[in-house]
Structure 1
Amino acid sequence: MLHNINFFLDSLVKGDLRDIRGDLKKPFEKAWRDYESRFKQVEKEKRDLARQYGMVRSEVSGGEIAEELEKERRSFQLSMCEYLIKVNEIKTKRGVDLLQNLIKHYHCHNNFLQECVSTSHRLKQYMEELNGVLSTVKQRQDEEKKQLCALRDQLRPAVNTEQESLQRQTYSMHQLLGDKQYGTERSGFLYKKSDGLRKMWQKRKCSVHNCYLTIAHATPNKPPTRLNLLTCQVRPSVEDKKCFDLISHNRTYHFLAEDEEECVAWISVLSNSKQEALSMALDGYSRAGESQSSVEDLTRAITDDVRRMPGNSSCCDCGAPDPGWLSTNLGILTCIECSGIHREMGVHVSRIQSLSLDSLGTSDLLLARNVGNSGFNEILEANLLSPSLKPSQHSHMAERKGFILSKYQDVHFVRKSHSSAAALRLGLQEATKSCDIYSLIQMYAQRADLSQPLNTHIQEKGETALHLAVLLADRTSLHILDFLAQNCPDVDAQTSAGNTALHYSCLHNKSDCVKLLLRAHANTHTKNQLGETALDISRRLKHAGCESLLDQARSNRFDHHVHVEYEWRLRHEDLFDSDDDFEEKVRFLVPRLSAAQVSGPQQVSGPQQVSGPQQVSGPQQVSGLQQVSGLQQ
């Protein structure tokens, strides 16, 4: 490109016009000076010659000396012609040739730009063609991926069944019984097969003590391996009677004894030690569980009732059946895939717990018992244009994540019912007063500030919905306080007198409110204008229940999965098989309901209310034994 564009200009400037810088007039001026000098010389000679002959001549005519200057005159004329020719060439090169070369330069540049435009046009056509090809390839790959996913879903149950079968074969529930004469403790040497490529038998010192098997290493300074026999199983070898295996939760150890008798002794000691550990664990669980059995029974009953609520048989987000993960601050159930995305959003959006794996308290089930997937989705998915926009249980994680973020973080599908901040504040106040959980969720979905001061106040100026919920809290409205405590940005908001919701709870001796606020990590050191903390108020007013809870929180002994006194009103649609055995099952239910009373008079849900003999109407709360006695009558 540089050669084609700049060659003509370079050749002109560096070659043809180079002589311009020199002195073209020098040869011409030299010839003129030589001619003039010769003319004067000839003129002088003529005058001198005339003087010799006695003649005086004032001037000599040109004709007299023309013959003498013929040669010089022609040389001068030749130099003048050459000079004029050179000047003419320079004028031509500076004018016409320069402009012609510039035209050639711009013509090359124009051709280059036209080639660029043509190439860009061809590139655009190629990109359009390539885009169509890529779309076809992507569609084909998506179809292949869908087919592979479908095949995977078909193969997974069979593989899981085979794995479970293998696990059952590896770790049997039928424990091996050892000979009691060998006791539960033993120390000695065994050969252990290494896990490397060589699979060598290595002699190791082993000991069984306090339900643990200790295996020493070859290196003295390396700490020995300790295995809890409660989680292990002993299995004799079928091939060699001097060998036995010890199966732990993550590895199988292969041991070799000196002889068959020693092998039997080791197997017996390990089995006896495991049986002892199992007995100790069961005894300890039995003693510790007696005081909490009624609460655990109630928690299980609430959990079962939550699973039966409308919409809770499928995931709140993707519709997968039998969801087992609970969002404690929203009161909805999700599947395990969607629960992972809820955890990614953070606990300020959704707090996920497992219904089966986590140790839940009744406080964790307050919102789940009063919200449910159907009611929640009627608000958060009110403006969902089509059910097809919602992911299914077979959707990819990226599709699930996009929908869940739009639903919970961006609240794209919520129908707006209040337009101004004042209307939202009024709606928040009315929802709290009327204990309407769904109206409260509507305010939350419209991004109302749950910690803002309300328009009116009952006791002090600057009260928030959380203060109002504490004042109105009873055994039927704790879920309102729980929702506000878990979802408001500031659980320690203060009134004009400096009182927080925790201060209000202690002033009115509402220990269940204290539990829910401490569960929401309320600050126990906040002081009001009188310089009192919530604990100071509890001690001054001698509210022992609130004081005990606050002491536990300050010493980090407070259990966040607490039990609260609440009218659960559980449904028991499947309690009675027929009207004939109604009285018999009520008599059977009486002692179980009595046992469910925890720490004082406990509200326990029972069978449905009977209006007339053997006539059952809607779900009705049964509190204590008196209502059950009425059912029996």
Structure 2
Amino acid sequence: MIDTGKAFCTANKQFMNGIRDLAQYSCKDVLVETSLTKFSDTLQEMINYHNILFDQTQRSIKAQLQTFVKEDIRKFKDAKKQFEKVSEEKENALVKNAQVQRNKQHEVEEATNILTATRKCFRHIALDYVLQINVLQSKRRAEILKSMLSFMYAHLAFFHQGYDLFSELEPYMKDLGAQLDQLAVDAAKEKRDMEQKHSTIQQKDYSSDDTKLEYNVDAANGIVMEGYLFKRASNAFKTWNRRWFSIQNNQLVYQKKFKDNPTVVVEDLRLCTVKHCEDIERRFCFEVVSPTKSCMLQADSEKLRQAWIKAVQTSIATAYREKGDESEKQEKKSSPSAGSLEPGSETKEKLLKGESALQRVQCIPGNAACCDCGLADPRWASINLGITLCIECSGIHRSLGVHFSKVRSLTLDSWEPELLKLMCELGNDVINRIYEAKLEKVGVKKPQHGSQRQEKEAYIRAKYVERKFVEKQPASVSLPESGTKGLPQSKEEKRHSGPEKSLLAGEQEPSVFCDSKQPSPGLQLYRAAFEKNLPDMAEALAHGAEVNWVNLEENKATPLIQAVRGGSLVTCEFLLQNGANVNIRDMKGRGPLHHATVLGHTGQVCLFLKRGANQHATDEDGKDPLSIAVEAANADIVTLLRLARMNEEMRESEGLYGQPGDEIYQDIFRDFSQMASNNPEKLNRFQQSDSQKS
């Protein structure tokens, strides 16, 4: 029974591991992943309870009864053998005594003595044998009942544990059942819709090709256009084969099957031309000609042929333009006057153009292995923490909730430039120095990639939610809610706060930069935001800093407002990713968007508008950001604010609440974001012209 039970547990564990794998494969479906993870955890607990039951069975029945059989019954058998032997000796003595003749007195005495001795021994052994029988019968009764009672109690505990476990799970199961009922209703509705579409399609006239044709030279995945074309082989037979073609990375490539590596037809589109072909028997043909070879292609219709020809021509023009931009950038880099907004950005800008998010992020110290288990080549990231993760640890991070960790794929998701820079400013080494500072002191062993999921879950929760391994902060300076009023400023600090003072028409200078006792976490975050020090900001948050902390002694400014004053786009992005409110205003009624507009920080204005900043809010002078930008004659910011306002009005008039807006609006904001992250000097026209005037 025990062996069969263990085999059952082994099979059950394989099944449970299959459920966990399925949960991992369903990571994009939160409902499926969460449900399967919960169910697999419950099944694992039941396997543990089963193993405990079998261990108790081993001790209660097998061990006790084997002792009874091997020791007590063996003693009884030895006593029985001795009794049988003495019985036989007594029988022999009786026979011998009966056979002695009367006249042989010597033999009579000898036989009588042997019989007496044998009878005495027999009675003693018989008494001992009867005692052994009685003891064994009594012990047999107690041992069997004791073993079975222990066995039944083990079952009682097993079923109680199972009942308690599933009682906790039952509310979730009922809730899931209700969701599944709704899913069934939705599926039935979707089926009806599909059937209706199917019916409509059947009635549709397909005599003319109505395929939706699109090409996009700025596509996020680099693919300008793709689709099936017939390709004429270069062999003697000139056979035609249907292949999947795409224009990507200034090349024309094709694949035989979906998973095949692409075959390059044209290495560089700048060196080729495209033309119609009307001199062959097949219709809808066109030819792509390069210096080394030509490729004859056939579309399915005239409309598709025209679309492909136009896409190739547009890609050729784009390739020329991009190569020109690259050479211009190279010239700027070689020029000693080329500057950058942030210190240390020169090394970061050495990253090659077109390099993927995965390559850029993994080259940061510590990022080549998972931050929490050490598995090599992690493909996921927590964007608010700035770390890389393996797929299993990313699933655990996702279960913590977005207020602790926001998970994104390094290969499947698109990455905004400011977010990519944020990842490059932090990294696994920086964050682990903060969140694992006390790891050795508390004696906790960090899990490896081969560790059980429960062990990883417990560790990750202790690390990021409970923050058990963060070094405790020394006693904070004794100040009001946020006060640092009256503390001295250094020359460097006054230099930082000077430009804004002139622009803000007499607004109070920041006076938070002082070397007193250890500041509170909120004050530490406030200071680090101005100083563009992301590791210090991450440490402050780890120590419990409120991301929307308010400095009562400095016009109720927040860390996000300080980040604007510091002039760093990445610092603002870090605070926003960690829950900073983009619409909290200071005592003068100015929020981050106001401050960014006053200071002419175009990249920050673009970022705040993308994150839902209210541009209609007015300060104590009754000015909104647009009126401030118009007075300052900052064309870039005026353009952004007016576009955002126009897009907002369009969405409201069309009832598209919560929608991102039209493609032109998104493209313009995307271009500004790229420029703010990669070419900030182009957005500094306002500040540069002002400094030249002065």
Q: TM-score with structure 1 length normalisation? A: 0.46
Larger Rg: 1
Q: TM-score with structure 2 length normalisation? A: 0.42
